[in-house]
Structure 1
């Protein structure tokens, strides 16, 4: 099954996110990732939605999204080259003896150490989802105490 990334420009009104999510739910499609925030146009928001399915599913969703009242524009980001990133914060168990090992691995992936405590540290990662997954696998043996991810956000390349 393919992963499809769709950019949706909407009015910034209460309930718009719920209507978009309900559209996916009614059709029986799972949203793998959803990010929402303000954009370059005042009073509008941009949603980046990643969902798994075939091309027919994606095309059907685009048609249905375009029918929603508060949706201004729907752009599939699969066809054109795109830039995508995900933020991941990872709290790891880290004794003073392990810290340098963890920091070295994090530096290899161009991460930053966001916070350090006596028994743990927080690694901040910004990268492609696959790259973040690879780092997570490398750092799991140290003990992941907490993990949070924003989901993928993307835009077409110029």
Structure 2
């Protein structure tokens, strides 16, 4: 199972290196990694997606706390959260394909950020499911380059689990919102 960890760290040289070395020594692969500053000067948030069972992730969390400069480690996998990713995707296009690609972009609220006679670059922002869905649809065309940020996540203050609501709505075929 994939787990999302949110790690608050002090902005010091080598913090990310120590974390990645810990994962490498334990034989873990980081499926997604995003690092950026927080609302507090000198503190960064690292959001990472890793595979493992609950016990393994618990052990990994304990190991992270032993590293210098780690302030807080939170497994937000089952916590109501807002999750987003950014993807830039460049496609080689023909005049015939352009309207259908632009229609897909409109449906997914993607932005055209660069266009040339034979190429089109889209910016897509959304939850990981949305990013995967548009990527899968666009794979029928000639994708020349993709850059993805990795998942970022913040817990919901409202504690509303939109994933639960989405599943319930799909099962009942009636909107709950």
TM-score, reference length from structure 2: 0.86
Number of equivalences: 157
Extract unaligned runs of 5+ from structure 1: none
Alpha-carbon separation, structure 2, partners of 1:127 and 1:79: 19
Q: SS of the counterpart of 1:96?
A: coil
Query: Residue in 2 aligned with 1:147?
Result: 146
Alpha-carbon separation, structure 2, partners of 1:139 and 1:103: 11
- Paired residues for 1:91-102 under 5 Å: 91-102=90-101
Alpha-carbon separation, structure 2, partners of 1:96 and 1:43: 49
Query: Residue in 2 aligned with 1:104?
Result: 103
Alpha-carbon separation, structure 1, partners of 2:75 and 2:140: 38
Higher normalized contact order (CA 8 Å, seq sep 6+, divided by chain length)? 1
2:11 corresponds to 1:12: yes
Alpha-carbon separation, structure 2, partners of 1:100 and 1:30: 39
Answer 1 or 2: which has greater strand percent: 1
CA deviation profile, 1:62-99 (whole Å, cap 9, x unmatched): 10111111101111102320111111110001123321
CA deviation profile, 1:97-132 (whole Å, cap 9, x unmatched): 321211101111111111101100001111122221
Alpha-carbon separation, structure 2, partners of 1:101 and 1:138: 11
